[in-house]
Amino acid sequence: MRRRSFFRRFYSLRNSGINPSGFHPSQIPFYLILTPVVAFMLLPIIFIFSNAFKPLEELFVYPPRFFVVNPTLKNFIDLFTLMSIADVPVSRYLFNSIIVTVVSISASIFISSIAAYALSKKRFGLKKTLFAINTVALMFVPVAVTIPRFLIIARVGLIDSFLVHILPALALPVGVFLLKQFVDTIPDEMIEAAQIDGASDVRIYRDIILPMIKPAIATMAILTFQATWNNADTSAMYINVESLKTFAYYLSTLSTTAAGANTVAGQGIAAAAALIMFLPNLIIFLILQSQVMSTMSHSGLKG
């Protein structure tokens, strides 16, 4: 018994073990292992930044230099003044991407969170079945059904429609799964009390559920953001009108077609575009990272 209380006192102010509160010499080996791994993982990311600001002569200098010496904004100016091969200004692709991403995130949050609320708190016949199907769908690999998806999208008449960027991105089983797990943590008594006070479903959703699942919504926003902002395939497969394609698609043409990749100026433009693609991902995650971590605490999947 005494030994136990000793341990408790030791652990409450401990600096070693899981989640320590301060530095302790026992942590040094972990720093020694992690630092090189992290540095290695960081190299390509630094390269994205460094390359975007290199003037032409530094992009082609021999031997190649990793870091930029005389940073310049010329690549970005070129990117926005030059036209794409199809005479569409680059800002148009960027504009399309921003619209697609913002609309997808808002719609996805709304649709998934009302579904998650019903799946967690409402009582109805198919509740268990629907959630089980959604959990199986976590294992779904979209690339496997590219062909039938293409046939359906053609059938529904979404080819060359702006909606084709948005609608498929809204069926995101991971998002509904994480949201539902998070709604589960809200005590039933709170909702029952509101019901007794005569609150409608819409009010319960808006005034109780939504404010309490903010971390899960932030996570959902990030997942949808990554799925839409980084998506080049939709434009390549379903859109033939150049002015409806997205920035990710434009970047993919720079690295694959002869027109962009092989010309000397193309390399600088591609480097600048790559940074513009990556930066929003990083910024959004930085802002929302603590919310994401608290969502992940509820991500468990019962076997």
Partner 1 sequence: MKERQNWGERCRLWMIRESSAYAFVFPYALLFTVFIVVPVVIATLLSFTYFDTIQFPRPIGLRNYIALITQDEIFMKYVLPNTIEFAVIVGPGGYILAFLLAWMLAQLPRLPRTVLALILYSPSMTSAVTMAVVWQTLFSGDQNGYLNSFLLGLNLTQEPIQWLQSPQYLMPIMIGVTLWSSMGVGFLAMLAGILDINPELYEAAAIDGMSSRWQEILYVTIPSMKPQMLFGAVMSIVGTFQAGSIGVALSGANPTPQYAGQLIVNHIEDYGFLRYEMGYAAAVSVVLLLMVLLFSRIANRLFSEE
The interface with partner 1 within residues 187-216 (CB under 8 A) comprises 201, 205
- Evaluate whether 112 touches 263 at the Cβ level (below 8 Å): no
| DSSP output for 40-60 | HHHHHHHHHHHHHT--HHHHT
300 binds partner 1 per the rule CB under 8 A: yes
Segment near partner 1 (CB under 8 A), from 57-65, 70-78, 83-91, 95-103? 57-65
Name, in order, each residue with C-beta under 8 angstroms of 145's C-beta and a sequence gap of 6 or more: none
Segment near partner 1 (CB under 8 A), from 79-87, 88-96, 133-141, 190-198? 133-141
Segment near partner 1 (CB under 8 A), from 68-76, 90-98, 136-144, 186-194? 136-144
CA distance 113 to 176: 7
173 binds partner 1 per the rule CB under 8 A: yes
CA distance 303 to 233: 34
77 binds partner 1 per the rule CB under 8 A: no
- Evaluate whether 88 touches 243 at the Cβ level (below 8 Å): yes
Q: Write down the residue that tokens 């000397």 correspond to.
A: 264
73 binds partner 1 per the rule CB under 8 A: no
Q: Which long-range contacts (CB under 8 A, 24 or more apart) does 125-128 make?
A: none
Interface residue with partner 1 among 80, 142, 206, 207 (CB under 8 A) is: 142
152 binds partner 1 per the rule CB under 8 A: yes
Beta bridge partners of 89: 83
7 binds partner 1 per the rule CB under 8 A: yes
CA distance 278 to 49: 9
Interface residue with partner 1 among 104, 248, 268, 288 (CB under 8 A) is: 248
Residue 54 Rama label (left phi>0; alpha psi -120 to 50; beta): beta
Total site size for partner 1, rule CB under 8 A: 110
67 binds partner 1 per the rule CB under 8 A: no
2 binds partner 1 per the rule CB under 8 A: no
Segment near partner 1 (CB under 8 A), from 77-85, 91-99, 121-129, 191-199? 121-129
Within 91-110, which residues bind partner 1 (CB under 8 A)?
A: none
79 closest CA partner among 270, 257, 261: 270
137 binds partner 1 per the rule CB under 8 A: yes
Q: Which helix (H) or strand (E) holds 106?
A: helix 90-121
Q: How far is the CB of 98 from partner 1 (least distance, A)?
A: 16
Q: How far is the CB of 156 from partner 1 (least distance, A)?
A: 7
Q: How far is the CB of 255 from partner 1 (least distance, A)?
A: 5
Segment near partner 1 (CB under 8 A), from 74-82, 93-101, 190-198, 266-274? 266-274
Q: How far is the CB of 110 from partner 1 (least distance, A)?
A: 8
Helices and strands of the chain, counted as H and E runs: 17, 0
Segment near partner 1 (CB under 8 A), from 68-76, 78-86, 172-180, 183-191? 172-180
Question: Omega of the bond prior to 89 within 30 degrees of 0, cis?
Answer: no
User: How far are the Cα atoms of 61, 97, 160, 226, 289 from residue 57, in angstroms, in the given order?
Assistant: 6, 31, 40, 33, 38
Interface residue with partner 1 among 139, 189, 211, 262 (CB under 8 A) is: 139
Q: Which of 119, 239 has the CB closer to partner 1? A: 119
